[in-house]
Amino acid sequence: MRRTAAACGDLASLRAAVARCHACPLAATRTQTVFSDGPDRARILFVGEAPGENEDRSGVPFVGEAGALLTDIIEKGMGLRRSEVAIANVLKCRPPENRDPSAEETRTCTPWLDRQIELLGPEVIVPLGKHASNHLLGVSGPELRSMGSLRERVHERGGRKVVPTYHPAYLLRTPDAKKDCWKDIQLAMGLLGLQPRRKG
Ligand code: URA
């Protein structure tokens, strides 16, 4: 019998249940599921959209070019080790050709992320980009909001603070936006009582 997300009492059993998931067609095209990187409990959780090619191959979120930038934000900017923060995605499987996740794929995958958040227990969640930010704030369909209207603010989700910022892939294409991302990261750090390592 397949285990539901709610029945998983720890991250290891949740990771194993995700690895067996065939609830949507992405199971047929993935190399492997991509569950998370980081500790089993974390004060801060970064959430991206979905694994890309490198992540599908390695099984670890944010390991490509965008991942290297996220690592710099965490290590050079925040002064933390990447291994101290949790990193995950809304979707646990790669959409072919890195297309946008469908509404149905996102809906089907949601219980895994919801349970992952409960078990990780972050005080602050930083969704990366429009898809993850809208998803985590429960916005969908025609109501979808732009990053401009979501970022530079602290939102609330089930007692946790949510600080949306740009996706690192967007920052690679639009380096001018890095200073705005840094403002969001400083906002998140302030909520955790952390001092930034470098000036923005
Ligand atoms: N982009 C994402 O949203 N997630 C990853 O894991 C890699 C790239």
> How confident is the model over 77-89, as pLDDT tens digits?
999 999 999 999 9
User: Which pLDDT tens digit goes with each residue over 112-157?
Assistant: 999 999 999 999 999 999 999 999 999 988 899 999 999 999 999 9
Q: Would the CB of 101 count as within 6 Å of ligand 1?
A: no
Ligand 1 centroid to residue 61 C-alpha, Å:
6
pLDDT confidence bin for 198, thresholds 50/70/90: low
SS3 content of the chain, % helix, strand, coil (to 5): 50, 10, 40
Tokens of 1: 């019998």
Q: Which residues contact 184 (CB under 8 A, 6 or more apart)?
A: 126, 151, 152, 163, 164, 165, 166
CA dist 30 and 39 (Å) reads: 24
CA dist 131 and 78 (Å) reads: 24
Q: Which residues contact 17 (CB under 8 A, 6 or more apart)?
A: 2, 3, 4, 5, 7, 8, 112
Structural domains of the chain sorted by starting position, each given as residue range(s) with its CATH number in brackets: 2-192 (3.40.470.10)
User: Which pLDDT tens digit goes with each residue over 147-183?
Assistant: 999 999 999 999 999 999 999 999 999 999 999 999 9
Ligand 1 centroid to residue 172 C-alpha, Å:
13
What does DSSP assign to residue 86?
E
Ligand 1 centroid to residue 48 C-alpha, Å:
5
Give the other-Cβ count within 10 Å of 146's Cβ: 10
Tokens of 60: 């670890």
CA dist 11 and 181 (Å) reads: 29
Q: Which residue puts its alpha carbon closest to atom 7 of ligand 1?
A: 62
Number of H helices, E strands in the chain: 9, 5
What does DSSP assign to residue 11?
H
Tokens of 104: 């149905």
Whole-number average pLDDT of the chain: 96
pLDDT of residue 199 exceeding 60, the answer is no
Residue with structure tokens 């285990």? 3
Q: Would the CB of 164 count as within 6 Å of ligand 1?
A: no
Tokens of 141: 């369909």
pLDDT of residue 4 exceeding 90, the answer is yes
Q: Would the CB of 50 count as within 6 Å of ligand 1?
A: yes
Q: Would the CB of 77 count as within 6 Å of ligand 1?
A: no
> In terms of pLDDT, which residue wins out, 140 or 25?
25
pLDDT at residue number 57: 98
pLDDT at residue number 94: 98
Tokens of 112: 């895994």
Q: Would the CB of 51 count as within 6 Å of ligand 1?
A: yes
Q: Would the CB of 133 count as within 6 Å of ligand 1?
A: no
